Amino acid sequence: MANIYPFAGAALQSDNTCKFSVWAPFRQQVALSVIQPEPQIYPMQRDDKGYWHTTIEGLSAGVRYKYILDEATTLPDPASRYQPEGVHGPSEVINPDFEWTDNSWAGLELRDLIIYELHTGTFSQTHDFQGIIDKLGYLRSLGITAIELMPVGQFPGDRNWGYDGVYPFAVQNSYGGVNGLKALVNAAHQHGIAVILDVVYNHLGPEGNYFAQYGPWFTDKYKTPWGPALNFDDAWCDAVRAYYIQNALMWLDEFHIDGLRMDAVHAIWDCGAHHFTAELSALVDALQASSGKKKFLIAEIDLNSPKYITPREKGGYGMHGQWIDEFHHALHSLLTGEVNGYYADFGGLGPMAKSYQDSYVFTGEYSGVRKRHFGVAPLRNDYHQFVVFAQNHDQIGNRMLGDRLTTQLSFEAQKLAAAVVLLSPHIPLLFMGEEYGETRPFQFFTSHSDKDLIAAVTNGRREEFASFAWEGEVPDPQSVETFNNSTLSWHTRTDNAAALMELYRFLIAFRRTRQAMLNTSREGVKVQIPQVEEQLLLVERSGNDDHLLLLFNFSDHAVTYQYTGSGELLKKFDSAAAIWHGPGSTTPDQATTSEAISIQPFSAIVYEII
């Protein structure tokens, strides 16, 4: 197991010493270069696993250092906990102590999550963790139970989505560093909100990436969209696996973070007998057992394979949940009519119904985009193992203009999209600002310093959108204006914004209090398309003698539905109602068998069956 390997980095000890350890198996000499407060060089000793160590007396937090490799190259620490001068500067020794006040916090079950994804830099005008802390009360009043932070590992400059990070252990200096993140987690728990951290274990960013100079961190066995694959199964891979496992456990243990959203797990290439994610999930489960705090792993996977979220004892990898992009694609194509690029596999009511019922859209069918049969049905996995959304950072930010659904859909269609997500049996995820109809885009932005890299990123963005045939100019990722344009406006006082927020608040409360909504078993959901030509989707949800009928009209005209079931219908929600700033409800408050129900265009109805 990975924990037989020594921890890499700098660690202050209780006896007023500081231990340094770095993995550089092919180097002949490694030395510690203390830069501040007084320059000093200390030789390091190699062990039989390729780690170099030294323990220095009298050092304290704030000491800045680098490593000297073979008396020629001076580089920051790959396991740095803080990079106060950015990705090229010296690393800094930190004091891990923090005055936590969340001892009573035990975490949340997956089924209880209402996730709000946000980007620290663009969520508030302060562009830092404190800006999030200031809004926790608002998020709790909305009904949010978990915030998901886009990656916070140190990246180049002060503007980046976070996926270009090159120091996975170091909290971004411009966001508030180690104590800033711990303060956020502590405050979130005081508000009853869990914290999920997005982590990137499939690649490292290009600028400031000195890992290959230390050792065999990468392998040529596989290809990724970002360059050489990280070495999870080739020669010398044990230390790489240990590094990322220790990183995950650091966030979950030392930082009290509740769960990790693991980016693009399908690009973690591991053909070994014990897959990296299975090894990690076993250690996370052990941490949960020893700490008494709920901990979980949610994977982003471009594979319709439930193996990743199937228990290890049943032959799976034991991760706890996964994102479902296909639910988004089905909903987006249905509402916008876009069927280009990867949306070509979607469009129409069928894929939406399929994802609502089966979570995946492709469960063995032929995919025209992939040019092969794809996926398998997750019949043994409950709905609460799947995270769905109408918007997220990828699906907005990877559009050419970063335009949100707010600017693509009518107000009625926006409310319908919210209802489809929040009334689904899956875990719902909102992207920051969608609850009040934010109109500012979320665009791709960077602050690299390498001119060649800047040009390559800009050109790469242009080429990426060729298959979508979108019109307009690609925003300049390096421009401060692109970043500023993506910062939330918080314009919440218009009539539509106020009504939309109240609709989100109502639906979140509704799903958390109705037994039918709380039931996430496969047996509790039945999906039908009673009128294909009318774009009407019918969903029945049940649990503990609570029975609900959901009607979603995706067409631009009113649709008439004739209820043929047993029992009386009692209306609980209508997105077209005046209270939600709609055109007015045309559905009866009560209905019986054979009674015709007229449903407004682009609207969602909820009836209780009594």
List of domains in the chain: 2-92 (2.60.40.10), 110-461 (3.20.20.80)
Determine if residue 38 is labeled as part of a ligand binding site.
Answer: no
Determine if residue 200 is labeled as part of a ligand binding site.
Answer: no
**Cβ–Cβ < 8 Å for 603, 412:** yes
SS3 234: coil
DSSP 516-584: HHH--SGGGEEEEEEEGGGTEEEEEEEETTEEEEEEEE-SSS-EEEE--SSS-EEEEEETTSGGGT-S-
Phi/psi at 415 (nearest 5 deg)? -65, -40
Determine if residue 233 is labeled as part of a ligand binding site.
Answer: no
Q: CA nearest 53: which of 92, 24, 82, 88?
A: 24
Separation CA 543–CA 524 (nearest Å): 6
Identify the pLDDT of residue 6.
67
Enumerate the active-site residues.
Answer: 263, 300
Give the model confidence (pLDDT) of 360-388 as tens digits: 999 999 999 999 999 999 999 999 999 99
Separation CA 475–CA 488 (nearest Å): 17
Determine the distance from the C-alpha atom of residue 289 to the mean position of all C-alpha atoms in its chain, rounded to a whole number.
24
Determine if residue 328 is labeled as part of a ligand binding site.
Answer: yes
**Burial class, 580, CB count within 10 angstroms (exposed 0-12 / middle 13-18 / buried 19+):** buried
- The single residue listed with the structure tokens 């707010």 is 406
- The contacts of residue 138 (CB under 8 Å, 6+ apart) are none
Identify the pLDDT of residue 457.
82
Determine if residue 150 is labeled as part of a ligand binding site.
Answer: no
Determine if residue 325 is labeled as part of a ligand binding site.
Answer: yes
β-strands 366-367, 372-373: how paired? antiparallel
Determine if residue 127 is labeled as part of a ligand binding site.
Answer: no
Determine if residue 264 is labeled as part of a ligand binding site.
Answer: yes
- The contacts of residue 313 (CB under 8 Å, 6+ apart) are none
CB atoms within 10 A of CB 95: 12
Identify the pLDDT of residue 2.
41
Identify the pLDDT of residue 251.
98
Identify the pLDDT of residue 1.
37
Low-confidence ranges of the chain (pLDDT < 70): 1-6, 462-471
Identify the pLDDT of residue 36.
87
Determine if residue 261 is labeled as part of a ligand binding site.
Answer: yes
Determine if residue 394 is labeled as part of a ligand binding site.
Answer: yes
- The single residue listed with the structure tokens 């680098």 is 66
Identify the pLDDT of residue 208.
96
- SS3 for 376-427 is CCCCCCCHHHEEECCCCHHHHHCCCCCCCHHHCCCHHHHHHHHHHHHCCCCE
Identify the pLDDT of residue 462.
66
Determine if residue 262 is labeled as part of a ligand binding site.
Answer: yes
